Amino acid sequence: MEDSIGINNKELKTKPGADQLAKLINNGTPGCSTKKIPLWLVLLDNVPTLTMFILGALIINQISTIWAVVFMAYALFSVVYFWARICPFCHHYASQACPCGYGVISAKFFKKRTDKPFIRVFKNNLGIVFPNWFVPTGVAIYLFITQYNQTLLWLSIAFALIGYVIIPLISKFVGCKSCDIKDECPWMQAKNKIKDQMARNGTTVDGKKIIIPEMEEQVGC
């Protein structure tokens, strides 16, 4: 018997390997979540990121305009790479439930993929965005030591505030907080590990029993 996303329930009762499990977990129809993230939330997710890219380029521009342009091109490339290599494996692919709108854009240019588990793909490819934080930070530290000036100070403060405070806070309290797939997200893994360990030990949090989700609850949207 098949459920609403076309997965044979008998398959779930077997113990699938990682790739089989990936196929089962990722086999939902594109955009199967009915949740719709409002435009203000999509903007709240994207405007600070774009502002951080621009501030990063302005910091690098203090030493070289060409490298500032290269940085900006890399930052935009990293976003397209994210659409191409991560979003096609996600439950939010082609869905307006994606907190930053990437899921819908990704579906316009890239095909849905089901051959690997989303969590593994996410972990293996997320590093593409790290230079967007660390390169301007490194350049700012170098410039503080070699040629400090007032403009650098204000650019660095704005960059640090947006990159290391505002964006993580928005993710934690707005984007990730209400995300349908936060249980699969590597960012939430540390928290989940503690939760799973406590459940295995039969312990409780706030007087409530913690239940590890059944396989059926993790499949589909």
| Interface contacts to ligand SF4, rule CB under 6 A | 86-87, 90, 92-93, 98, 100, 102-103
| Closest approach of ligand SF4 to the CB of residue 97, in Å | 8
Q: Which residues contact 55 (CB under 8 A, 6 or more apart)?
A: 136, 155, 158, 159, 162, 163
d(CA 37, CA 48): 17
Confirm if 18 and 29 have CB atoms less than 8 A apart: no
CA atoms of 120 and 134, how far apart (whole Å): 23
**Residues contacting 35, CB < 8 A, separation 6+:** 95, 96, 97, 180
**Of the two residues 59 and 86, which places its CB atom closer to ligand SF4 in the complex?**
86
Closest contact distance (angstroms) between CB of 106 and ligand SF4 is: 6
Q: Nearest approach, Cβ of 49 to ligand SF4 (angstroms)?
A: 11
Q: Looking at beta carbons only, is 42 or 68 nearer to ligand SF4?
A: 42
CB of 195 to ligand SF4, least distance (A): 21
Nearer to ligand SF4, 55 or 121 (CB): 121
Residue 132 or 156 having the CB closest to ligand SF4: 132
According to DSSP, residue 214 is labeled: P
